[in-house]
Amino acid sequence: MSVKEDNEGKSIFHHTDLYGSIPPTCLPIVYHPDYNITFMGLEKLHPFDSGKWGKVIRFLKEEQFITDENIVEAREASEEDLLVVHTKRYLGSLKWSFVVATITEIPPLVILPNCLVQQRVLRPLRTQTGGTIMAGKLAVERGWAINVGGGFHHCSGDKGGGFCAYADITLAIKFLFERVEGISRATIIDLDAHQGNGHERDFLGDTRVFIMDMYNHNIYPGDRHAKRAIKRKVELDWGTEDSEYLQKVELHSEGALNEVRPDIIVYNAGTDILDGDPLGGLSISPQGIVKRDEIVFRAAKQRGSDWSHSYGEGGIVTTGDPLDPKLWFCRISTHRCVRTEVVTCQSAANNAAPTSHM
């Protein structure tokens, strides 16, 4: 992978700590303990577990699947990093606690000093955002990468919402476009239960980015303007179950990757599609989520073999809210085996229990 430089061999962009070299002994899995949000119990006022990222990592360590030494430690995105996409006006607005309370949907944040809100809420989100940017570079180098957090698809360059304060998906793609030679086309496959209106607004009219979005059209955000950016739109009804859902995932993910020849695929693997999730309104089983990931990873691998460059020079980066830790074991196993034979991990899926998600 080569980074774009000027005629004197110097980087033509701002200095960033997010594109440093990663030891080859590390798996392309990005995480930091600072992802987790805990502050006087206020995090419990939102209907999902804001400490779920750490629970996933603890489970994977207990299963001896990862160690502290072989995962990549995420770094916090700096203000200069964020300004690649965000306006100064928007970042300035986050210095007001009531703005953050609105974005995160946690009203009591209004009464807290912004210094505490920055430290306990926004810093974890900036670290997750840095993790997604880092995962983008890793995916180019390794062929795949996972950020255990991130997937803030409701945030655009000038507006946050739906617990999404930073546009990590847009940032990851724009960093690659600007800094990495050979990366000029991207496909976003967004399979969260909600429409990904943030990255859609950011890439509206940008022919370099192909967006597939499959979501429950009855729920938040219902952003008609942003829908204009979707090249392959799949709207689901309340209570959609495995059979119909997986047929559509296979048809449309393969169709999306056949329509264009992307240099990078960003897969937002939201799990609020799980049956019983309080926000998603769909009825997908744990086994269905495992199968969904398998379909997407296999489609990416198959298309990779047809590209003019090797799969390792492109790649797939996965973001999104964590699901049951047992299913994360399946997700990572599938990623690691995508070059040969995809692992389905049905036994772990059978033992997974529904949890609450973003």
Within 10 Å of residue 280's Cβ, how many Cβ atoms?
25
pLDDT at 348: 44
Alpha helices, DSSP H only, in the chain?
A: 52-62, 79-82, 88-93, 97-104, 114-117, 123-142, 168-179, 197-202, 224-227, 242-259, 286-304, 325-337, 346-351
More confident residue, 58 or 235: 235
Q: Where is average pLDDT lowest: 44-58, 166-180, 211-225, 269-283?
A: 44-58
* 336 falls within a domain: yes
* 199 falls within a domain: yes
The verdict on whether 154 is a catalytic residue reads yes
Most confident segment among 8-12, 168-172, 325-329: 168-172
**pLDDT tens digit sequence for 55-97:** 888 888 888 889 999 999 999 999 999 999 999 999 999 999 9
Residue 46, classed as helix, strand or coil, is: coil
Q: Are 119 and 238 in contact (CB under 8 A)?
A: no
Q: How far apart are the first and last CA of the chain?
A: 34
- Find the length of the chain: 358
* 20 falls within a domain: no
- At residue 256 the predicted structure's pLDDT band, cuts being 50, 70 and 90, is very high
* 94 falls within a domain: yes
pLDDT at 328: 55
* 22 falls within a domain: no
pLDDT at 347: 39
pLDDT at 134 over 60: yes
More confident residue, 347 or 49: 49
- At residue 332 the predicted structure's pLDDT band, cuts being 50, 70 and 90, is low
Q: Are 239 and 283 in contact (CB under 8 A)?
A: yes
Answering whether pTM is above 0.85, one says yes
Which of 32, 86, 153, 154 is catalytic? The answer is 154
pLDDT at 152 over 70: yes
* 25 falls within a domain: no
Residue 104, classed as helix, strand or coil, is: helix
Range of the domain at 313: 31-351
Nearest partner of 84 among 154, 153, 169, 2, judged by Cα: 169
* 303 falls within a domain: yes
pLDDT at 307: 35
**pLDDT tens digit sequence for 22-37:** 999 999 999 999 998 8
Mean pLDDT of 321-329: 58
- Per cent of the chain over pLDDT 90 is 66
- Tokens coding 267: 């897969």
Nearest partner of 282 among 233, 246, 232, judged by Cα: 246
* 23 falls within a domain: no
Within 10 Å of residue 185's Cβ, how many Cβ atoms?
16
DSSP for 219-271? SS---HHHHTT-SEEEEE-TT-BHHHHHHHHHHHHHHHHHH---SEEEEE---
Q: What's the domain count of the chain? A: 1
State the CATH number of the domain containing residue 117.
Answer: 3.40.800.20
- Tokens coding 125: 């989100």
